[in-house]
């Protein structure tokens, strides 16, 4: 209305505004009440007639006030609504909803589903069928259905981790549009160019001809990780975004293979489209990072997976010749250093440190590179041997020293002297490299034509030589040989690391070969040979893949193995994730390294609509409140005009004020638990009682109170503990140390507690208190989906709390045996998981202990089963909330779980020792 | 514009205050002694001598025995000193009776911000203070229609008590005028009221009270607001005794008419008092109470004829 997002549910009432002028005349003629005066001698003048009577008129401002008051009431009756729900579009045909479902739509997937659902339901109101097509579905047949079916299908849609080609859907759309001439098209787009969005929009505009196309797009475009690089100083994460508007800063978190947080780094785009986040961690920790993700950005694009290729090895290099500082280009160390530095930490021999190789080995190397060192003897040889046997990679380069004399630390037997190709005394031309054998780790590397070998050392032609050859010359003489020794590997390059024997060190191939070789030095336990074996496999099967929300999980059914040298963007068949055996996983990332995301510019003629429509606001309540305020003002003004204020004596005013104060205090006491919560701190110390956090959500608080009261009754009836009435506590104001157990139902809509309150909570937990966080979302949270609002809320709050490592309650945990023998901890629901502080790893002697406990009571128990709801019962024991799936047995089990937990918090690991009491008594008896 | 207030009938609270206020006032004045001329014919026993022989306790004079008197009256001890017979005479001691009546009708419970205290407070303080002065001077005091005339050291408390007790009666309606019973000759009446009832009615009451020769004093208590009529603007006046209301557009235009009516009313009262030899005095509540008490004492002591 009038360009404002305002609508009236009963616009006819507005006609009453026409009556305002009449009201104006009536009000104008009605003067305010006169001043009233008691006057005892009145009867003396009672018979006098007024000599002059000037009729008092209502003052104009009072008149205006009253007219305004009347207008407000009329407006309120007309039912005004701010941001009315989108008026049904003037289309009659079916509604076609096109959903972008690639990873860029994942961060606001819920809003997208809502937007689509609203439009489908609105179409249904007009009696129009709807059709839904997700962009990843390709050439699926589109059929218009009723809204229930379409909505059901809409709920099953999930964002895909890959970007599908939208053009594939065009035939189906064309067919649908030709069948339904008057169809209306709504495209819920992700706003990015990827997946041929621009071509698609052009084609769609052509197909639609004069039909309106509503383009629904979010204001906020996603942020993605384009590449992650384990650079020299830190792990660098490249972040990209499509537009310069929106949130520019945030956090990137790194996790290891098991999902434990390794660190976090802040990023800030400023006004750029690209930025970097640096994880400044020690190299050992950096090598453990398997996953990097942008916090709060739940999409596959915001996750970067790291495999062995990202691990940064520590490589020690040593050369036989003394380094000539004045002429670095003559030193093999120079070439090695330059080639290795981009992907590994290079250690060099410090001059004044005794035996160079021994001192290098002290640095816990992954790879030891020896350039032209002929013979290693004595203690040094033993150490190198041990290094290789423990899984290290020894990479040796030939040279004049090696050609002269060698030891047993080479993969093949060598002939003395070597051979010279293309020299003055040789007929041969310098040789080129042959293509790498398929089983070689170098397989797939491009061989530049200009690389020539002029001199090399030769291997004796033993039977096992071909198996040990990784690279050979065009004439078949081996150039690189390798042998597995112990858990490690010895690799020999039959040329020097400098340019005297070949120009290999000048080529990019040299770097690639070094990279592959260094990458073989997997973790020292697994051994390089397995990795080697894995490398020989041609395809890698998917192990764990990302879904559209960026969560790792089991691969979908249509996922296929990738070829070993897989490059390129992921597809539906090759979703991003980890492929291959657990020891040698290969990561496929959503975005290619260096890939950018760009804003799509859509075809003209689309009607653009925002994704998030502002929620409609019913203005009635505020208008009536306003009218009431005006009414109060009017009342006071009338009183003032009649001189009523003067008649109020102070004593009366103070009495009135006292009354008002009393009433408001009473209202405060009635309305808030705040006043009620913990009257005197001393009282709380006298009895053991359960406590719950007053969240401010009346329903949750009532459920907590009743639930704990019911649990307290059960405890008093069945155990030696007779707790007092449960106490509601306010983190910010109440002393917590009196309570052994605090129950905290998470209400996601409540504001976060203050930092001080969280500190108090943290202290409470450190001092031995136990807090049960009940997210109560077992039915709504999806294990693979984004965290539910309650989980998000809890995570945000616990960010400042020192929470120990948690695990689902194991069967042997003492809490399952403190009073009842329990298998699981159910509440109103049974499907939720209950987490408790992880127990220390089982010792050898504890293997068959029936109950285990840590040193102290777990400070945190997190459940999602809504325990209080299951406990809650009225005074007669009648349950108050329905259970899922239900039944008295479940309620009883919930109570037993509560009893076990209370006893656990009060007795700690006592019960764990108690299971041995018979044995102890027997021993004492002897 | 003056602010006025009608007090609620919180009688117990008020009357508990009055004895103290009244005592305070009374102690500042010497005992009030009504002139002896008044007492000639009364036979009641009093505390102070009338400077003539009569019934009493204290010796007055010896006089020669006259023949025909009862021999029992001869004072033998004096007669023995010479050969004549003497009779011992005692000084005649008698008390004067003053009836004090204070108006407690609703119109008295009225105070404006110009006044020092409500009219009813002032009337009661005056009445009780006067009673105390009189009793200390040896007179007897009573409230017509409520108590007999008596003298007691705690006269203030006892009168206040009786008044308070009267107000607690369920059928108690505060009268605007004292009961119109004829008072005994040579007694005096003090009527403290705002006299806002019909002047004819007041004249009738005075007439009947004074029908046997009692004398009296009217003290008219008035609030400054009633004197000056400081109202203006659109005002609704409300009577306190009756439900009558008067709404006027311009209150200030009524002032002159009101002042004229008021002075006429007072003239009527003054005439009615003068006709029976009574006095009439005006007392405003913005003046100190002692002023009125002093005036009353002068009036009473002056005795004015007999």
Q: Secondary structure of A480-512 in the HEC alphabet? A: EEEEEECCEEEEEECCCCCCCCECHHHCHHHHH
Can you tell me the distance from the alpha carbon of A55 to that of A58, in angstroms, rounded to the nearest whole number? Answer: 10
Of B225, B239, B257, the CB nearest to A42: B239
Contact B234 A41 (CB under 8 A): no
Contact B234 A56 (CB under 8 A): yes
Strand partners, A216: A188, A609
Give the pLDDT score at A692: 92
- From the list A594, A537, A544, the residue with the least C-alpha distance to A566 is A537
Give the pLDDT score at B191: 93
Give the pLDDT score at A344: 82
| B48 against A698, higher pLDDT | A698
Of B108, B249, B258, the CB nearest to A50: B249
Nearest-CA distance B224 → chain A (Å)? 12
Lowest mean pLDDT among A557-561, A814-818, B93-97: B93-97
Residues B24, B59, single domain; the answer is no
Can you tell me the distance from the alpha carbon of A83 to that of A7, in angstroms, rounded to the nearest whole number? Answer: 8
Contact A45 B261 (CB under 8 A): yes
Contact B235 A36 (CB under 8 A): yes
**Mind listing the domains of chain A with CATH numbers?**
1-34+54-84+616-647 (no CATH), 95-221+600-614 (3.40.50.410), 223-310 (2.60.40), 313-325+336-428+454-507+516-521 (3.40.50.880), 534-588 (no CATH), 678-914 (3.40.50.12140)
Contact A45 B234 (CB under 8 A): no
What is the DSSP-derived secondary structure letter of residue A433? B
Residues B205, B81, single domain; the answer is no
Nearest-CA distance A39 → chain B (Å)? 6
Which whole number is the average pLDDT over A684-694?
84
Contact A36 B261 (CB under 8 A): no
Q: Judge if the upstream peptide bond of residue B165 is cis by omega within 30 degrees of 0.
A: no
Residue A802 tokens read as 């020192």
Contact A37 B254 (CB under 8 A): no
Contact A45 B249 (CB under 8 A): no
Which whole number is the average pLDDT over A212-230?
83
Q: Is A294 in a helix, a strand, or coil?
A: strand
Residue A710 tokens read as 């019911």
Residues B53, B140, single domain; the answer is no
Cα angle A544-A545-A549, degrees, rounded to a multiple of 5: 130
Contact A45 B258 (CB under 8 A): yes
Distance from chain centroid for Cα A84: 34
Window A:509-538, CB contacts with B under 8 Å:
none
From chain B, which residues contact A within 8 Å (Cβ)? 1, 3-6, 107-108, 110, 194, 196, 223, 225-226, 231, 233-242, 244, 246-250, 253-254, 257-258, 261-262, 265
Contact B237 A37 (CB under 8 A): yes
Give the pLDDT score at B28: 46
Dump pLDDT digits (tens) for A709-743: 999 999 999 998 888 888 888 887 888 888 888 99
Q: Which residue of A has its CA nearest to B107?
A: A40
Can you tell me the distance from the alpha carbon of B225 to that of B4, in angstroms, rounded to the nearest whole number? Answer: 8
Q: What is the mean pLDDT of each run of 10 residues along chain B (306 residues)?
A: 64 52 55 36 43 65 86 87 86 76 86 84 85 81 88 83 82 85 85 89 91 89 88 80 77 84 92 90 87 82 53
Residues B54, B166, single domain; the answer is no
Nearest-CA distance A70 → chain B (Å)? 27
Residues B79, B99, single domain; the answer is no
**HSE, side-chain direction, 13 A CA sphere, residue A706:** 20
Q: A624 pLDDT exceeds 60?
A: yes
Contact A53 B254 (CB under 8 A): no
Residues B111, B257, single domain; the answer is yes
Can you tell me the distance from the alpha carbon of A699 to that of A362, in angstroms, rounded to the nearest whole number? Answer: 64
Residues B154, B69, single domain; the answer is no
Query: How far from each other are the two terminal CA atoms of chain B, in whole angstroms?
Result: 48
Nearest-CA distance A722 → chain B (Å)? 56
Contact B231 A37 (CB under 8 A): yes
Contact A44 B258 (CB under 8 A): yes
Strand A835-837 to A806-808 pairing = antiparallel
Hey, CA dihedral for A350, A354, A357, A362, is it positive or negative?
Answer: negative
Residues B88, B140, single domain; the answer is no
Task: Give B-chain residues touching A46 at CB under 8 angstroms.
Answer: 239, 244, 246
Hey, CA dihedral for A403, A406, A412, A414, is it positive or negative?
Answer: positive
Candidates A41, A56, A645, partner chain B, best to mutate (most B CBs within 10 A): A41
Q: Does the model's ipTM exceed the 0.90 cut?
A: no
Can you tell me the distance from the alpha carbon of A570 to that of A162, in angstroms, rounded to the nearest whole number? Answer: 6
Give the pLDDT score at B42: 38
Task: Give A-chain residues touching B107 at CB under 8 angstroms.
Answer: 40
B145: domain range?
4-40+95-302
Contact A44 B110 (CB under 8 A): no
Can you tell me the distance from the alpha carbon of A445 to that of A453, in angstroms, rounded to the nearest whole number? Answer: 18
Give the pLDDT score at B266: 92
How much helix, strand and coil, in percent to the nearest 5, is found in chain B?
40, 20, 40
Q: H or E segment at A336? A: helix A332-340
E-only strand ranges, A726-884: 727-729, 741-745, 770-774, 806-808, 835-837, 860-863
Give DSSP secondary structure letters for A298-331: -SGGGEEE--GGG--EEEEEEESSPP-TT-GGG-
E-only strand ranges, A17-125: 35-38, 80-82, 95-99
Window A:603-662, CB contacts with B under 8 Å:
646-647, 649
Nearest-CA distance A26 → chain B (Å)? 20
Task: Give A-chain residues touching B262 at CB under 8 angstroms.
Answer: 41, 44
Give the pLDDT score at A177: 85
Give the pLDDT score at B33: 39
Hey, CA dihedral for A790, A796, A802, A803, is it positive or negative?
Answer: positive
Q: A52 pLDDT exceeds 90?
A: no
Q: How many domains does chain B have?
A: 2
Candidates B248, B257, B259, B265, partner chain A, best to mutate (most A CBs within 10 A): B248
Contact A38 B4 (CB under 8 A): yes
E-only strand ranges, B28-96: 49-53, 59-64, 86-93
Contact A42 B244 (CB under 8 A): yes
> A151 near A64, Cβ under 8 Å?
no
Cα angle A94-A96-A100, degrees, rounded to a multiple of 5: 170
How many contacts, defined by CB atoms under 8 Å, are there between A and B?
97
How much helix, strand and coil, in percent to the nearest 5, is found in chain A?
35, 20, 45
| A59 touching chain B per CB within 8 A | no
Contact B239 A39 (CB under 8 A): yes
Dump pLDDT digits (tens) for A142-198: 888 888 888 888 888 888 888 888 888 888 888 888 888 888 888 888 888 888 888
Alpha helices, H only, A767-884: 789-798, 867-871
Can you tell me the distance from the alpha carbon of A302 to that of A549, in angstroms, rounded to the nearest whole number? Answer: 9
Phi/psi for A256 (5° steps) reads -90, -170
Dump pLDDT digits (tens) for A573-612: 888 888 888 777 888 888 887 788 888 888 777 878 777 7
Nearest-CA distance A66 → chain B (Å)? 22
Nearest-CA distance A52 → chain B (Å)? 7
Dump pLDDT digits (tens) for A10-19: 778 888 888 8
Give the pLDDT score at A133: 87
| A56 touching chain B per CB within 8 A | yes
Q: Which residue of B has its CA nearest to A53?
A: B249
Nearest-CA distance B159 → chain A (Å)? 27
Give the pLDDT score at A847: 58
Task: Give B-chain residues touching A646 at CB under 8 angstroms.
Answer: 1, 3
Determine the number of helices (DSSP H) and then strands (DSSP E) in chain B.
8, 12
Residue A249 tokens read as 């800063």
| A680 touching chain B per CB within 8 A | no
In whole numbers, what is the pLDDT of chain A averaged over residues?
Answer: 81
Of B235, B244, B257, the CB nearest to A37: B235
Convert A403-429 into a string of H (helix), E (strand) and C (coil). Answer: HHCCCCCCCCCEEEEEEECCCCCCCCC
| A691 against A926, higher pLDDT | A691
Nearest-CA distance A651 → chain B (Å)? 13
**Full-model pTM:** 0.45
Nearest-CA distance A657 → chain B (Å)? 21
Q: Which residues of A497-517 are buried (b: 16+ CB within 10 A; e: fewer)?
A: bbbbbbbbbebebbbebbbbb
Residues B172, B129, single domain; the answer is yes
Residues B68, B126, single domain; the answer is no
Domain at B15, CATH number:
3.40.50
Residues B163, B25, single domain; the answer is yes
Dump pLDDT digits (tens) for A441-468: 888 888 888 888 888 888 888 888 888 8
> A865 near A827, Cβ under 8 Å?
yes
Which whole number is the average pLDDT over A343-359?
73
Confidence tier at A528 by pLDDT (50, 70, 90): very low
Axis crossing angle, helix B11-27 with helix B119-136, rounded to the nearest 10: 40
Residues B250, B142, single domain; the answer is yes
| A913 against A526, higher pLDDT | A913
Contact B240 A52 (CB under 8 A): no
Contact B249 A39 (CB under 8 A): no
CB atoms within 10 A of CB A375: 14
CB atoms within 10 A of CB A424: 5
Query: How far from each other are the two terminal CA atoms of chain A, in whole angstroms?
Result: 94
> A488 near A392, Cβ under 8 Å?
yes
Contact A53 B248 (CB under 8 A): yes
Contact B250 A53 (CB under 8 A): yes
Give the pLDDT score at A632: 92
Q: A843 pLDDT exceeds 80?
A: no
Of B194, B231, B236, the CB nearest to A40: B194
> A304 near A237, Cβ under 8 Å?
yes
Give the pLDDT score at B9: 54
Candidates A32, A38, A638, A642, partner chain B, best to mutate (most B CBs within 10 A): A38
Q: Which residues of A174-185 are buried (b: 16+ CB within 10 A; e: fewer)?
A: eebbeebeebbb
Give DSSP secondary structure letters for A154-170: HHH----SS---GGGGH
């Amino acid at each position: 209305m009038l360009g404002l997002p305002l609508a009236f549910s009963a616009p006819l009432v507005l006609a009453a505004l026409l009556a305002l002028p009449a009201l104006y005349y009536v009000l104008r003629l009605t003067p305010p009440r006169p001043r009233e005066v008691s006057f005892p001698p009145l009867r003396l003048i009672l018979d006098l007639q007024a000599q002059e009577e000037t009729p008092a008129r209502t003052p104009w401002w009072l008149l205006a006030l009253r007219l305004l008051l009347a207008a407000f009431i009329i407006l309120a009756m007309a039912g005004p609504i701010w941001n009315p729900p989108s008026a049904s579009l003037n289309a009659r045909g079916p509604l076609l909803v096109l959903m972008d479902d690639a990873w860029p739509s994942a961060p606001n997937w819920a809003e997208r589903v809502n937007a689509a659902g609203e439009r489908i339901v609105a179409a249904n109101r007009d009696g129009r069928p709807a059709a839904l097509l997700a962009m990843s579905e390709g050439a699926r047949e589109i059929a218009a259905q009723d809204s229930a079916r379409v909505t059901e299908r809409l709920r099953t849609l999930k964002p895909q981790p890959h970007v599908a080609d939208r053009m594939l859907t065009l035939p189906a759309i064309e067919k649908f549009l030709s069948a339904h001439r008057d169809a209306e098209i709504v495209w819920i787009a992700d706003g990015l160019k990827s997946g041929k969005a621009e071509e698609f929009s052009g084609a769609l505009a052509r197909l639609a001809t004069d039909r309106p196309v509503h383009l629904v797009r979010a204001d906020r475009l996603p942020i993605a990780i384009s590449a992650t690089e384990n650079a020299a100083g830190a792990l660098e994460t490249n972040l990209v975004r499509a537009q310069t508007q929106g949130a520019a800063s945030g956090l990137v978190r790194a996790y290891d293979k098991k999902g434990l947080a390794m660190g976090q780094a802040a990023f800030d785009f400023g006004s750029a489209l690209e930025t970097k986040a640096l994880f400044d961690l020690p190299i050992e920790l950096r090598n453990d990072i398997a996953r990097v993700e942008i916090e709060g950005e739940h999409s596959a694009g915001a996750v970067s997976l790291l495999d062995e290729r990202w691990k940064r090895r520590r490589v020690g290099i040593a050369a036989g010749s003394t380094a000539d500082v004045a002429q670095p280009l003559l030193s093999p160390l120079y070439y090695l250093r330059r080639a290795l530095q981009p992907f590994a930490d290079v250690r060099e021999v410090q001059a004044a440190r005794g035996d160079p190789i021994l001192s290098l080995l002290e640095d816990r190397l992954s790879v030891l590179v020896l350039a032209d060192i002929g013979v290693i003897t004595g203690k040094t040889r033993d150490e190198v041997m041990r290094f290789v046997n423990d899984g290290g990679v020894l990479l040796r380069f030939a040279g004049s020293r090696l050609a002269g004399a060698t030891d047993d630390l080479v993969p093949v037997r060598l002939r003395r002297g070597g051979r010279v190709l293309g020299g003055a005394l040789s007929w041969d031309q310098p040789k080129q490299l042959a293509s790498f054998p398929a089983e070689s780790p170098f397989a797939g590397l491009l061989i530049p034509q200009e690389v020539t070998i002029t001199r090399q050392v030769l291997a004796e032609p033993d039977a096992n030589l071909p198996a040990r050859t990784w690279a050979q010359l065009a004439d078949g003489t081996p150039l690189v040989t390798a042998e597995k020794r112990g858990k490690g590997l010895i690799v020999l390059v039959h040329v020097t690391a400098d340019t005297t024997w070949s120009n290999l060190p000048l080529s990019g191939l040299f770097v690639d070969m070094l990279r592959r070789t260094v990458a073989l030095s997997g973790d020292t336990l697994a051994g390089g040979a397995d990795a080697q074996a894995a490398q020989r496999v041609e395809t890698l099967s998917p192990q764990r893949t990302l879904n559209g929300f960026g969560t790792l999980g089991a691969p979908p059914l249509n996922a296929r193995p990738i070829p070993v040298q897989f490059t390129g963007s992921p597809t539906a068949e090759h979703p991003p994730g980890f492929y291959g055996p657990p020891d040698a996983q290969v990561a496929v990332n959503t975005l290619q390294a260096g890939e950018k995301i760009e804003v799509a510019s859509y075809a003209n003629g689309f009607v653009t609509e925002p994704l998030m429509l502002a929620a409609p606001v019913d203005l009635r309540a505020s208008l009536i409140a306003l009218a009431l305020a005006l009414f109060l003002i009017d009342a006071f003004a009338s009183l003032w005009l009649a001189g009523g204020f003067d008649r109020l004596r102070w004593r009366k005013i103070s009495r009135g004020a006292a009354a008002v104060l009393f009433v408001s205090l009473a209202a405060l006491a009635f309305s808030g638990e705040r006043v009620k919560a913990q009257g005197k701190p001393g009282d709380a110390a006298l009895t053991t009682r359960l406590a719950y956090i007053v969240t401010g959500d009346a329903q949750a608080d009532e459920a907590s109170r009743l639930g704990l009261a019911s649990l307290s009754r059960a405890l008093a009836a069945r155990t030696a503990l007779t707790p007092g009435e449960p106490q509601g506590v306010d983190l910010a104001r109440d002393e917590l140390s009196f309570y052994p157990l605090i129950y905290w139902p998470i209400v996601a809509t409540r504001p976060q507690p203050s930092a001080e309150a969280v500190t108090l909570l943290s202290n409470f937990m450190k001092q031995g208190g136990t807090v049960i966080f009940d997210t109560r979302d077992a039915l709504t949270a999806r294990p693979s989906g984004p965290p539910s609002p309650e989980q998000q809320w809890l995570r945000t709050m616990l960010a400042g709390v020192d929470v120990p490592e948690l695990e689902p309650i194991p069967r042997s945990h003492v809490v399952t045996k403190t009073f009842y023998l329990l298998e699981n901890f159910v509440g109103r629901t049974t499907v939720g998981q209950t987490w408790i502080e992880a127990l220390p790893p089982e010792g050898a002697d504890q293997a068959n202990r029936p109950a285990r406990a840590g040193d102290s009571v777990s400070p945190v128990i997190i459940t999602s089963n809504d325990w209080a709801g299951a406990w809650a019962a009225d005074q007669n024991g009648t349950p108050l909330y329905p259970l899922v799936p239900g039944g008295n047995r479940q309620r009883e089990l919930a109570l037993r779980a509560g009893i076990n937990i209370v006893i656990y918090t009060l007795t700690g690991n006592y019960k764990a020792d108690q299971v041995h009491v018979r044995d102890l008594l027997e021993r004492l008896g002897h | 514009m003056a602010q006025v207030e009608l007090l609620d009938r919180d009688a117990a609270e008020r009357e508990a205050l009055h004895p103290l206020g009244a005592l305070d006032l009374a102690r500042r004045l010497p005992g009030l002694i009504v002139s002896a001329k008044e007492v000639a014919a009364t036979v009641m026993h009093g505390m102070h001598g009338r400077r003539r022989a009569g019934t009493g306790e204290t010796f007055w004079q010896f006089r020669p025995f006259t023949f025909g008197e009862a021999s029992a009256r001869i004072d033998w001890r004096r007669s023995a000193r010479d050969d004549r017979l003497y009779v011992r005479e005692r000084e005649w001691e008698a008390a004067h009776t003053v009836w004090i009546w204070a108006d407690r009708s609703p119109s008295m419970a009225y105070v404006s911000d110009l006044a020092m205290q409500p009219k009813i407070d002032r009337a009661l303080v005056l009445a009780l203070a006067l009673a105390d002065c009189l009793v200390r001077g040896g007179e007897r005091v009573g409230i017509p229609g409520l108590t007999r005339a008596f003298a007691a050291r705690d006269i203030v408390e006892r009168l206040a008590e009786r008044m308070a007790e009267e107000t607690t009666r369920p059928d108690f309606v505060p009268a605007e005028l004292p009961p119109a019973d004829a008072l005994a000759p040579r007694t005096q009446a003090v009527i403290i009221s705002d006299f806002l009832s019909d002047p004819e009615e007041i004249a009738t009451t005075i007439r009947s009270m004074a029908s046997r020769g009692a004398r009296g004093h009217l003290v008219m208590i008035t609030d400054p607001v009633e004197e000056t009529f400081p109202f203006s603007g659109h005002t609704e006046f409300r009577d306190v005794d009756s439900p009558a209301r008067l709404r006027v557009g311009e209150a200030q235009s009524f002032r002159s008419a009101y002042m004229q009516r008021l002075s006429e009313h007072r003239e009527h009262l003054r005439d009615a008092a003068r006709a029976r030899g009574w006095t009439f005095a005006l007392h405003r509540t913005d003046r100190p109470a002692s002023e009125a008490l002093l005036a009353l004492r002068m009036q009473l002591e002056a005795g004015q004829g007999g």
